[in-house]
Structure 1
Amino acid sequence: MESCRDHFRTRRGFGGTTVAGVEEIDRRIVTLLAKDGRMSFTDLAKETGLSVSAVHQRVRRLEKRGVIHGYRALVNYDEIGLPLTAFVSIKPNDTAAPDDAPERLGHLSAIEACHSVAGEESYILKVRVASPLALEELLQQIRASANVSTRTTVVLSTPYDYRSPGTDADVEDGDAER
């Protein structure tokens, strides 16, 4: 007997097989836009074999559903004076205290991302700063603002970042980002 999960993953709907509620053609559109958020509807239509109006409708539907929830510029942080990237793992000094570190740290603009994680630490923060001294000052602010201890890993280089949610077929076709 087919489980609900199997049915959901493999059900067929208008436009083709769906995976986790997203049709294959929509997944292709999302992958293309993740690689180039400024791709025109005309270029998306060429890449997917759909009409421009069909692509436009699908993109709007994906935005409305929250599958696509924004577009942004990819920034060269070295060029804007923030060459140092680090990951800061934090855990509360008082485990009985409320778990409100993200709210307490929200005012620190050097924190690019905050991830809740399983393991010894509660959160991992991705931070970008101008120098080791700026990182040291940020760590002090993090500790004081959220009453946490920190463990820091400094990034030496980034071979790749901002990878799109491509499929194995994309890699086999030579479409993988370099």
Structure 2
Amino acid sequence: MDAIDYRIIDQLRQNARAGYGDIGDVVGLSASAVKRRVDRLVADGVIRSFTVQVDPAVDGMAVEAYVELFCRGTVAPDELRRILAAVPEVVDAGTVTGDADAIVHIRSRDIPSLEDALERVRVAPNVDHTRSAIILTRLIDRRNQ
């Protein structure tokens, strides 16, 4: 990858629907040259997909929380993945350093459904306890950049 590839990716992050000509105007290439580069970036697995992301509030999933997950003993990441994959409200999760074993991002339609999702996580084998923080105001959201 070179600097132009990075600039093309930056343009696609801002607007994945931008035309190749529009991107070319910004990066200094013809539309066909941009298309060839995008095709190569896709073929090489650099660009994994093009997608639409709908505001979760519009989808009725406006309540979100970050949950620290504490396990009994040592639990393999594959086991945590299996436990969390069974809860559809879990939108993101990762193992972490520190006291918690994992951080889990949950989205739900309301507080009762959040509580239900949390309970499904808590009763899973090897889960000792959780500590939750409900998001009040999203200050920065760079997930699409």
Q: TM-score, normalised by structure 2?
A: 0.88
What is the root-mean-square deviation in Å for CA atoms of aligned residues?
A: 1.7
Secondary structure in 2 matching 1:66? coil
Identity %: 29
Residue range with higher mean Cα deviation, 155-164 or 86-95: 155-164
Q: Does 1:33 align with 2:33?
A: no
Find the counterpart in structure 2 of residue 88 from structure 1. Answer: 67
Aligned 8 A contact 1:35 1:163 in 2: no
CA offset at residue 163 of structure 1? Answer: 5.1
Q: 1:163 to 1:133 in 2, by over 3 A?
A: closer
Q: Does 1:23 align with 2:2?
A: yes
User: How many angstroms apart in 2 are the aligned matches of 1:132 and 1:26?
Assistant: 43
Q: 1:157 to 1:117 in 2, by over 3 A?
A: same
Q: Does 1:159 align with 2:139?
A: yes
Aligned 8 A contact 1:84 1:154 in 2: yes
Aligned residues: 143
Aligned 8 A contact 1:31 1:164 in 2: no
Q: What is the aligned counterpart of 2:87 among 102, 108, 120? A: 108
Secondary structure in 2 matching 1:161? coil
Segments of 5+ residues of structure 1 without an aligned counterpart are 1-21, 166-178
| Residue type of the alignment partner of 2:12 | L
Matching of residues 1-178 of structure 1 within 5 Å? 22-95=1-74, 97-99=75-77, 100-148=79-127, 149-162=129-142, 165=145
Higher relative contact order (CA 8 A, sep 6+): 2
Find the counterpart in structure 2 of residue 168 from structure 1. Answer: none
Q: 1:23 to 1:113 in 2, by over 3 A?
A: same
Q: TM-score, normalised by structure 1?
A: 0.73
- Structure number, greater radius of gyration: 1
CA offset at residue 110 of structure 1? Answer: 0.8
Secondary structure in 1 matching 2:70? strand
